[in-house]
Amino acid sequence: MSQLERIRRPADLRRLSRAELGALAEEMRTFLVEKVSRTGGHLGPNLGVVELTIALHRVFESPRDRLVFDTGHQAYVHKLLTGRQDFSDLRRRGGLSGYPSRTESDHDVVENSHASTALSWADGIAKAHELAGLRDRHVVAVIGDGALTGGMAWEALNNIAEGQDRRLVIVVNDNGRSYAPTIGGLAHHLNALRTARGYEKVLGWGKRTLQASGAPGRVAYDALHGLKKGVKDVLAPQGLFEDLGLKYIGPVNGHDIPAMEFALHRAKAFGGPVIVHAITEKGRGYVPAESDVADRFHAVGVIHPETGLPVAPSRFGWTSVFAEEIVEIARQRSDIVAVTAAMLAPVGLAPFAEEFGERVFDVGIAEQHAITSAAGMAFAGLHPVVALYATFLNRGYDQLLMDVALHRAGVTFVLDRAGLTGDDGASHNGMWDMALLRSVPGLRLAAPRDEATLRAELREAVAVEDGPTVVRYPKGALPEPLPAVGKEGTLDVLARHMADGEDARVLLVGVGAMAGTAVEAATALAAQGIGSTVVDPRWVLPVPPDLTALAATHDLVVVVEDGLATAGIGSALRDALAEAGHAVGVQVHGIPHAFLEHATRAQLVEDFHLRGQDVARDAAAAVAALRAGTPEHRAALGR
């Protein structure tokens, strides 16, 4: 058996010799590269925490001692050491989650894939232990330097420092990167800690110089005291943490298991909040990742393990279109600036940064600050474009509502990965945005259906200066172009089908990327002798008056969207029709109001009856009910 196969629980680590631990670390790296290259997943972060995680599980006794990982994408090694070594279906339905999961193991505390939250979780658990008198238990939070750029982490640190008797250890996994190099004052501070090796050397030189100068004793004493303070501030700026009341240990080589264990034992014995500063290398041990400056190995799809190259090259996608178009717009308008939260390349702003470096602002993992800062820029005459994953807009909702919308700030939000993303699980599906944003007064939201409409709607969005605009699109490759065949006011008509000599009875509304599904459903209805009109509203919030008017001329309205069915665009249209006094039945095909387990997007689409054939089947049943004309049928349709 290999060393890894012998590890079924963390206690098994404690019987291994130093040489065996080194062999285990190498086996784990080989395992991760082999398995993750087949399924996709977060590779770089996990290669960087192999020795650190081994040391954690040798010093602390999980699950008695609680380990909380922030962000959870660095927890694959933790899974391997806690008995979860079947990675064959990682991030696939029925397989392991890409993040910690309570349903998988008692060793997991929180799914935690939205960064900067682990310290608050750890603080809460430590407070509960203290109140329960559990003095023999520790809580350990593992947080990256990137996640420490988030304001919530500093709110937690401020509170953790108050609990001087709480057994809480904070391990800062410092690799200088989050999705990209960590930015800001904290990054400079940690960099100083990494390179502060000369404190005693410089101090000794100063002492010898003062003695040789023949200065009077008191003068020499004062000078030496000042030198000590100055050298400490410059070469040992751990005072930032210690001034908060937190004991600091480090920097420690996070790839040296004995050194990490020694530091963690010291922290464990301290009896109060301690920060252990571990220096690690993201992607360690895998040459393609170590030599990659663009951080392509933070998360990968299916790759060739030998080269790190994709097995199937990606098709030109939504993000690439945005990346091109925003640069073209910025060339024409000097007031356009770009804002992102630690994800410059993933959201498509790398080309913008190359050409307009002074006009792009990466604020770290700090969505709240990004949005309110954008409101300030708009006030001062700029037009900020805030590019985020749709799931991360949730973290800045209050700022969008109270700082941007309330003040009618001209800020454009570009939401990548909107709708169903699937593989990353409940926290990463961008399914909440339209339901949340529907509640924001004055906000206008566009949902492009293809490349041409994305380019056009982005330009329309940045032309608005009296309130927030949003452009949202899904993950992945672009669909085939879907040109309009006509117009109904502001609406794009995508198809018209007459059947059985009747006028179109069904209005199909395709929201954004679901427009193609609406067209497919209309074709299926026509085959059953049911006429229909298919429209793409383009701008779906607020509900266009032209859409309400057109809907009133049909017997049934069917809305297909990749957001919440209970509070999204279909629901908004139903409310608008009722307010206008139109008794038209509205069917909504969308995502259920629930947290979704990880699965492929195709599996989720089938589960939620979002295929064209599903939409057509339900619409046909409703039309049959209308033709039957029974009161029960009419009541079911809202007639």
What is the C-alpha separation between 480 and 519, in angstroms, rounded?
Answer: 13
Q: How far is CA 320 from the centre of its chain?
A: 18
What is the C-alpha separation between 518 and 492, in angstroms, rounded?
Answer: 13
Contact predicate 566/61, CB 8 Å: no
Binding residue per annotation — 173?
no
Binding residue per annotation — 73?
yes
What is the C-alpha separation between 486 and 82, in angstroms, rounded?
Answer: 59
User: 338-372 burial, b if ≥16 CB within 10 A, otherwise e?
Assistant: bbbbbbbbbbbbeebbeebeebbbbbbbbbbbbbb
What is the C-alpha separation between 577 and 431, in angstroms, rounded?
Answer: 24
C-alpha to C-alpha distances, 333 to 382, 447, 453, 455, 459, nearest whole angstrom:
10, 23, 20, 16, 11
Query: What is the CB-side half-sphere exposure of residue 531 using CA atoms within 13 A?
Result: 12
Contacting residues for 552 by C-beta, under 8 A, at least 6 apart: 577, 580, 582, 584
Contact predicate 558/587, CB 8 Å: yes
Binding residue per annotation — 191?
no
Query: Environment class of residue 398 by beta-carbon count within 10 Å: exposed (0-12), middle (13-18) or buried (19+)?
Result: exposed
Contact predicate 230/202, CB 8 Å: no
282 is catalytic: yes
Catalytic entry in 29, 35, 91, 282: 282
Binding residue per annotation — 115?
yes
What is the C-alpha separation between 430 and 426, in angstroms, rounded?
Answer: 9
Q: Is the dihedral of CA 352, 353, 354, 359 positive or negative?
A: positive
What is the C-alpha separation between 264 and 638, in angstroms, rounded?
Answer: 64
Contact predicate 337/382, CB 8 Å: yes
What is the C-alpha separation between 134 and 147, in angstroms, rounded?
Answer: 29
Catalytic entry in 395, 417, 444, 475: 395
229 is catalytic: no
Binding residue per annotation — 367?
yes
C-alpha to C-alpha distances, 122 to 65, 126, 155, 159, 275, nearest whole angstrom:
11, 6, 13, 11, 13
What is the C-alpha separation between 425 and 544, in angstroms, rounded?
Answer: 33
Catalytic entry in 367, 451, 457, 488: 367
User: In this structure, which long-range contacts are made by residues 184-188, counting pairs with CB atoms below 8 Å and at least 24 apart in sequence?
Assistant: 184/149, 184/363, 184/364, 186/145, 186/148, 186/149, 186/364, 187/145, 187/149
Binding residue per annotation — 390?
no
Contact predicate 201/164, CB 8 Å: no
Binding residue per annotation — 419?
no
Binding residue per annotation — 159?
no
As annotated, the binding site for thiamine diphosphate includes 73, 113-115, 146-147, 175, 286, 367
As annotated, the binding site for Mg(2+) includes 145, 175
Catalytic residues: 282, 367, 395
As annotated, the binding site includes 73, 113-115, 145-147, 175, 286, 367
